[in-house]
Structure 1
Amino acid sequence: MSPLSYAFAGVLGLLVLSSAVSGSPEWARIEEKLRSDLLSNYDKNVRPSNTTVISFNGPFIRDVQLDDASNAIEMFCWLNFQWQDDRLIWDEAKYAGVDVLSVPVDMLWTPDIATYNSPSIDDVRAIDNQPMVVKSTGSVLWIPPAKLRASCGADIRLWPRDTHVCNITIGSWTQSGLMVDFDIQSQPEIKYWTGKETNMTGSTWEILEANSTKESKQYPCCPDIYIDVALSIKLRRYAPSSITTIIVPAVCLSLLTLIVFLLPPSAGEKVTIGGFCLVLDLIFLIYISATIGVTRSTTPILVKLACQQFVLAAISLMVSVQVLRLARGPRSSGLSSCIRRPLAALASCLFLGNYSAMVTNDRPSTKDDFKKYPDHPPQYSQLSSSSETTSTDDYVVLAAVVDRLLFLLFLALCLNNVIRFWSVL
C-alpha cells in the first residue's frame, strides 16, 4: 500500500474516532432513521399476525387493598405482556448496532386490555400508557402500571383474622380468541408477585397465594370464544394493633361484669358498677361497629360478642337491683325453718360460710322468751328488734346465695363465649 493510502486511512480513522467521541448527534440521526424506517408504513390498528399470541407473566404487585364496605379489591401492579411483531424487525448492523428502542404506546399496536369484573365503568380501562421496549428481533415488551379494581365478596365473619380469595379477570375487550390469544408463562414464586423485599410494607393485607390461569368463555352477545386471564389472590388481614385495641378490651369487658356479683349483696356499689359496665359495653359496641364497618353480607363474630356482652351487662344490672332490694328491703318475718336449713347447706356449698352461720344460729322466738323468763320477760322493743334482725339476716343470706349462683351462671356464659369466639380472639 502506498504512503498516500496510509495517510488517507489514518485521516478516515481520525474522522470516525472524532465522530464516536462527539457521539450524540450522529447517534440521534441513526435512531431517527431507524424509527422513520420502522414506523413510516406502520399501521397501529392492524394486529401483528392473524392470531397474535401474548405472553403473560404474573403481575408485580405493589399494593393491594380490600374494601369491606363496597366489596371490591383494588390492586396496584405492573403488568407484563410480550408478543412478536415481525413488522418491527431490523438489521442491527445497518443502524450502528442499535438493537433496542423505546417507543410510545400510542405509536404501536397494543391489545385492548380491560377488566371484565370491575364494579364500575371507570375501572374497566385502568392501565397507564407507558412506552414499550422493542428489540431488533421484533419482540415487544410492555410493562404498564395498572390499578385493577374488581368485585370481591368480602366475608368478614372472622374479622380481624379473616382471609379472602379474590379474582381479577383481564382480557381483550373486542378481539376474540381467534385474533388474540394468551400464553400463561410458568407460575413465578410468590415473592415475584409481591416483591416482599421492598414493597407491601405498609399494607394491611398479606398475600398468601397468587396465581394466574387462562380461561376460554363464550358470551351471549357474541358467538366467538374470548380468552382471558384470571388472577386469583388469597389475602389475609394483617392487623396486629387489633389485639390491643379490640380483642383485649372485649375480653376485659366480659370479665368486668363478674365483679358486680362479687360485691356484698347489700352494697349499693353493685348498681354503680353495673351501670358503668353497661355504658362501657355500649361505647365499645359503637367503636367496634365503626371500626369494622357495616356490610350487607355477613356480621363479624366480634360484633356478635360485643352485642351479647351488652345484653349480659344489662341483665346483670337489672338482677343487681333486685338482689339489692332483697338484701335491704324491710321484712316483718324471717324465712321458715324448711327454707333456712337448705339455704344454709347451699350457702356452705357455695363457699359462703359466714352467711351460712347467720341462718344456722337459732334465736328464741317471742313465745320461747316468755316461757324462759316468766317473771322478767323481755321488753317488746327488744323482741321486735331481735325478730327484725333475724328476718333481715335470712334475706341477706338468700340474696348472697342468689348473687353467687348468678356469678357462676355468668362465668359459664363468659367461658362459653370465649370458646365460641376463640377463632377471632
Structure 2
Amino acid sequence: MDAPRRRASSERATVLNFTRILLIGGRCGDPDSWYSKFAAAGVASFPGSQHLCSPYDAGQFAEYSDAFHEKALRDATAAAADSPRQTLVISGAVPAGGAAEDALVNMLRTGVAAIEAFGSGLNLTRHSLAAADVLYVHASPEGAASPDAGAALGRELCRLKGGATRLRVARFYLTGRSDLDFRVDSTLAGFAEACPVGYSDLWSISASVEGATQAVAPYFASKPLPEVILAPNDDSARALLSAARQTLQEEEYSMLGTTGWDNSFPDLVSARKILVTVDQMVFYPNLGMWRTLQQLVQTVQDIGLSSTAAVAAEFDVEGATVDVSWSSASTVSSDPVGLLLEEQMSSYDPRVPPVGRTSVETGLRNVSVTHFTPFDGTFELVYWLHLSWVDPRLEWAMRKHADPIELQLDQIWMPPFLFLNEYSRNTLSSVPAVVMPSGRVSVEHYLRSTFLCHTEKGISHFPFDEYDCAASLAVSNLAVSMDGGLGFDVVHEDPNFYASFSTALDADERRDVVLYKLHFTRHSFKMWLRLIVPAILLNLVGFIAFWIPAPGDSIALGVTALLCTLALRVSVDMPDTSDVTWSELFMTINVSYQALVCFFSFLDFNGSISRRIQRAGRSWRRGRVRMRRIERSTSQGERNGQGQPYFREREGADEEEPSGQRDGVPRRRETGGPSDLLAAARASAGVGPALSLRKRRPSPESLAEAAEEPPADIDFDWVGRRIVVPSYVIVVSTMLIMQGKFI
C-alpha cells in the first residue's frame, strides 16, 4: 500500500497523539553502518524521538542480532508502561522466529503501536493477534518495485561490464535472509536480458556477513576468478572485497568488482569496487521512506486510526496486515555520469525546445577590445559568450549525482542566438555544455567577432572624438526571452581609447535584444604630442618674422614654417571623410596664419607694391576729402541763394575754360610738364622768355587734404604683432576649449 493513496472514511475516532516515539536500530558510536544511518534519518524525521542503539562494545553487526532487538523492544515496552497508547516504536527488521519476535508481540499486546521497516513482517494471525486490537504496520520497499530495481541494476552492470565476451560472475547469498535472495537473482536476470552475450556463472555460496571472509577464501584460490560478485547488500559486498584484498594479488584485486544494495558506502562506489547498488531512500530525513512514514503517522493521528484494521480500512487494503511501500528507489552507479546520460538522453531530442517560455541569461566575460577603427566604423572583440537556461528535461535528483555533468553541444537544445550588428566571427574554442542537477545548462563560446558601429557623428570631433557602440545579442525565437544577467566585463582595451561598458535590454515584437554597450573615448595625449603642440609651436616660430627687421629673413622664416606645417598635416593620420573634422579645421587655421605671415613679409619686402598700396590709400582718402568739400560748398551756395552748381557741363570741344580752371573748379598749376620743360629750354638758349617758377602759397583745402593723408609707410610688422598674433591665440584657445563641440 502506498501511504498517499487512501479512501475517505466516514467514521472518525478520537484523535491520537503519539507523545513518545522510539527509534530502534544502529550501533552507538558508529555512524557509518547501514543501521546507524537508517536510525539517524528516522530521529531527524521525527523530532523529539528517542534512539535505542546497540552498544559499541557489542561489536560490528551486533545491531542486526536477535539479542539486541529483544532487549531494545523490552526496554521500549517498559518505557511505555505509563502511556502505551501514546507510544510509537519504529524499528528495522526484527529477526523472525526468535526472542525478538516474541518481544514485539508482547509489546503490541500492551497497546504500543509499532512500525517495522524491512524484514519479512509479522504474521499477526500466527501469534493470535487480532488486527482490530493492535496497531502494527510493515514498511518495506521489497514489494513489486524491488524486482524492477534489481533489473535496473542488471542493465547498468551490462553497460559497465558487458562486451563481446561472456562476463564471469559469482553469487553470494546471506544465510538466514532468504528474503534478500531476489536482489541477486533479479540483478542477474536483468544483466542477461540487457547483454545477449550472456555470462558464465562460476560459483554460488551462502554465508553470513561475519563469515564471508572464511567462506569465500577457497573460491578465490581457484581459477578463473570472477569479474563481478553479486551480493544482496552493501555490507556483504564490503565483506567480500575485504576478503579479496587479503587473498588476491593487487592486479587480481583491481580487476574484481561487486554489486550491492542500500548505497551504504559511497566511497566504494566512487572507487569502482561496488559497481552498482540501489539507493532505497532510507538515509535521507523527510525523504523517501521517511516521508512516507511521516504521512502515515500524521494520517493515523489526525483520523485516530487505533488499529491495523482501521488503517487497512482507511487505505482500502485487504488482509490482516498492512504493508507500506515506496517507489523512490534508484540505481547508483560507479559511473554516475554514464548512467545519467543513459537515463536522461534516451528520449531527449535536441531539436525540440523545452516546453513553455525559456528564459536565457547571457553575459560577455573577459572581453578584450583588440581593435577599434572609427574611420571604418568597426570594432573587434575577443570574448567568452556565456549562455544559461533551464531545461527541465535534463533535471535529475541530487542523490543520483551531486556534481554537474558535461554534454556536447550537439546533444542538447541550444537557443538560436545571433548578434544583429556582427560583421564577421571566428570561433576560437568550443567547450562542452555544463548541466546542473536542477537542469540548468551553461554554455560558453570563445569567440572573436567584428562588429559594426555608427561613427559618423563622433568622428567630426577628432582627435577629441567619442563613440557609443554596442554588441546587440538577440534570439530568433519568440518562445525565448533573454537578459544580460551574467554580466559584462572588459579586461583589455584598445590602447588608443578609453572604454566604459554597460548592459541594457531592448525588446520589440519579434525578439528580446541585449545591448552590450561600449563607450569609446580617444586617448588624445598622443595627438597633442604629434599634431596640436607641434602645429602651435610652428606658428609661434613663424610669428617671429614680425620681429625680424630684415624683410628677406622674414620671408624665409615664414615660408619654412608654412612648409613644415603642411608636412605636419601630411604626416599625421587623419580621418578620410567628407565631413569637416576638428583636426582638419585646426590645421587649416594654422596653415592660413602661416600663409598670412608670408604675405605680410612679402609686402614688407617689395617696396613698390607697398608704395602702390599707399598711393591707392591716399587717393581713396583724397577723393573722400574732395567729396566732403564739394558737399560743403554746395550746401553754402544754397544758403546764399546763388544756386550756382559747382560743376557745369562742357558745351563744346572748342570752348575754352578760364585759365587756371578745370571743369569750373580752380586748379593748381602743375609744373614739370612737357610745355614747362620746353619753355625752360628756350630761355636758357636765349630764344624765348625765361620760365618764371614762383612758389605758390598753399590753399586751405590743400592743407586739409595733406593733413588727412596716411603716413608715408605701412608698418606690417606692427599689424602682425598687434592683430595677427593675438587673433591666432584667441582662435586656437577657443578651439582647444571647445574641442569640437561647435562642429
Q: TM-score, normalised by structure 1?
A: 0.68
Is 2:339 the counterpart of 1:43? no
- Separation (CA, whole Å) in 1 of partners of 2:412 and 2:268: 36
Is 2:587 the counterpart of 1:281? no
- Separation (CA, whole Å) in 1 of partners of 2:429 and 2:416: 12
- Separation (CA, whole Å) in 1 of partners of 2:609 and 2:404: 94
The structural deviation recorded for 1:38 is 2.7
Is 2:204 the counterpart of 1:4? no
Query: Quick one: which of 83, 96, 109 aligns to 2:413?
Result: 109
8 Å CA contact 1:253, 1:277 repeated in 2:
yes
Identity %: 17
8 Å CA contact 1:161, 1:237 repeated in 2:
yes
- Separation (CA, whole Å) in 2 of partners of 1:61 and 1:28: 40
Match for residue 438 of structure 2? Answer: 137
Deviates most, 65-74 or 26-35? 26-35
- Separation (CA, whole Å) in 1 of partners of 2:416 and 2:270: 42
Query: Quick one: which of 167, 187, 193 aligns to 2:489?
Result: 193
Query: Quick one: which of 448, 451, 461 aligns to 1:158?
Result: 461
Q: 1:103 to 1:183 in 2, by over 3 A?
A: same
Query: Aligned AA for 1:160?
Result: P
Query: Aligned AA for 2:716?
Result: V
8 Å CA contact 1:64, 1:76 repeated in 2:
yes
- Separation (CA, whole Å) in 1 of partners of 2:334 and 2:370: 41
Q: 1:418 to 1:169 in 2, by over 3 A?
A: same
- Separation (CA, whole Å) in 2 of partners of 1:309 and 1:240: 19
Secondary structure of the equivalent of 2:461?
coil
The structural deviation recorded for 1:413 is 2.6
The structure with the larger Rg is 2
Match for residue 591 of structure 2? Answer: 310
Query: Quick one: which of 451, 470, 480 aligns to 1:167?
Result: 470
Q: Deviations over 1:262-288 (max 9, x none)?
A: 110x34211211111111011111123
Match for residue 418 of structure 1? Answer: 732
The structural deviation recorded for 1:91 is 3.2
Secondary structure of the equivalent of 1:93?
coil
8 Å CA contact 1:58, 1:212 repeated in 2:
no
The structural deviation recorded for 1:98 is 5.2
Q: 1:145 to 1:52 in 2, by over 3 A?
A: same
Query: Quick one: which of 502, 514, 518 aligns to 1:229?
Result: 514
Superposed, 1:356-375 pairs within 5 Å as: none
The structural deviation recorded for 1:22 is 7.9
Secondary structure of the equivalent of 1:422?
helix
Q: Deviations over 1:148-200 (max 9, x none)?
A: 43332221233233221113322113x12xx11113438x6xxx6123xxx33
Q: Deviations over 1:76-124 (max 9, x none)?
A: 3222221001111223434xx3521222222211112112133x4x45x
Query: Aligned AA for 2:500?
Result: L
8 Å CA contact 1:65, 1:205 repeated in 2:
no
Q: 1:209 to 1:32 in 2, by over 3 A?
A: closer
- Separation (CA, whole Å) in 2 of partners of 1:100 and 1:148: 30
Query: Aligned AA for 1:307?
Result: T
Is 2:513 the counterpart of 1:216? no
- Separation (CA, whole Å) in 1 of partners of 2:609 and 2:581: 42
Superposed, 1:27-66 pairs within 5 Å as: 29-57=335-363, 59-63=365-369, 65-66=371-372
Match for residue 350 of structure 1? Answer: none
Match for residue 180 of structure 1? Answer: 480
8 Å CA contact 1:148, 1:168 repeated in 2:
no
Is 2:601 the counterpart of 1:320? yes
- Separation (CA, whole Å) in 2 of partners of 1:279 and 1:111: 61
Deviates most, 55-64 or 247-256? 55-64
- Separation (CA, whole Å) in 2 of partners of 1:226 and 1:130: 27
Query: Quick one: which of 282, 299, 307 aligns to 2:580?
Result: 299
8 Å CA contact 1:166, 1:232 repeated in 2:
yes
Match for residue 77 of structure 1? Answer: 383
8 Å CA contact 1:62, 1:76 repeated in 2:
yes
Q: TM-score, normalised by structure 2?
A: 0.41
Q: 1:78 to 1:239 in 2, by over 3 A?
A: farther
Secondary structure of the equivalent of 2:463?
coil
- Separation (CA, whole Å) in 2 of partners of 1:286 and 1:46: 60
8 Å CA contact 2:270, 2:334 repeated in 1:
no
The structural deviation recorded for 1:205 is 2.1
Aligned residues: 336
Consecutive unaligned residues in structure 1, runs of 5 or more? 219-224, 339-395
- Separation (CA, whole Å) in 2 of partners of 1:75 and 1:246: 29
8 Å CA contact 2:269, 2:334 repeated in 1:
no
The structural deviation recorded for 1:58 is 5.4
Deviates most, 10-19 or 43-52? 10-19
8 Å CA contact 2:542, 2:558 repeated in 1:
yes
Query: Quick one: which of 530, 542, 545 aligns to 1:260?
Result: 545
Query: Aligned AA for 1:163?
Result: E
Q: 1:68 to 1:253 in 2, by over 3 A?
A: same
- Separation (CA, whole Å) in 1 of partners of 2:364 and 2:429: 17
8 Å CA contact 2:406, 2:434 repeated in 1:
yes
Q: 1:227 to 1:147 in 2, by over 3 A?
A: same
- Separation (CA, whole Å) in 2 of partners of 1:114 and 1:80: 13
8 Å CA contact 1:78, 1:146 repeated in 2:
yes
Q: 1:270 to 1:28 in 2, by over 3 A?
A: farther
The structural deviation recorded for 1:18 is 7.8
Q: Deviations over 1:191-235 (max 9, x none)?
A: x6123xxx33x632222342221x2224xxxxxx32222222222
Is 2:578 the counterpart of 1:272? no
Match for residue 496 of structure 2? Answer: 204
The structural deviation recorded for 1:300 is 2.5
Query: Aligned AA for 1:10?
Result: A
Query: Aligned AA for 2:725?
Result: L
Query: Aligned AA for 2:444?
Result: I
Q: 1:39 to 1:240 in 2, by over 3 A?
A: farther
8 Å CA contact 1:102, 1:131 repeated in 2:
yes
Secondary structure of the equivalent of 1:158?
coil
Q: 1:126 to 1:29 in 2, by over 3 A?
A: closer
Q: 1:244 to 1:183 in 2, by over 3 A?
A: closer
Match for residue 377 of structure 1? Answer: none
Query: Aligned AA for 1:193?
Result: D
Q: 1:49 to 1:146 in 2, by over 3 A?
A: farther
Secondary structure of the equivalent of 2:415?
coil
Secondary structure of the equivalent of 1:241?
helix
Which structure features the higher share of helix residues? 1
- Separation (CA, whole Å) in 1 of partners of 2:595 and 2:396: 82
8 Å CA contact 2:463, 2:524 repeated in 1:
yes
- Separation (CA, whole Å) in 1 of partners of 2:730 and 2:584: 16
Q: 1:93 to 1:269 in 2, by over 3 A?
A: same
Consecutive unaligned residues in structure 2, runs of 5 or more? 1-60, 62-207, 215-235, 246-255, 258-266, 277-332, 619-710
Secondary structure of the equivalent of 1:143?
strand
- Separation (CA, whole Å) in 1 of partners of 2:384 and 2:717: 64
- Separation (CA, whole Å) in 2 of partners of 1:281 and 1:324: 23
8 Å CA contact 2:388, 2:443 repeated in 1:
yes
Q: 1:90 to 1:317 in 2, by over 3 A?
A: same
Secondary structure of the equivalent of 2:525?
coil
Q: 1:11 to 1:398 in 2, by over 3 A?
A: farther
Larger RCO of the pair (alpha carbons < 8 Å, separation 6+): 1
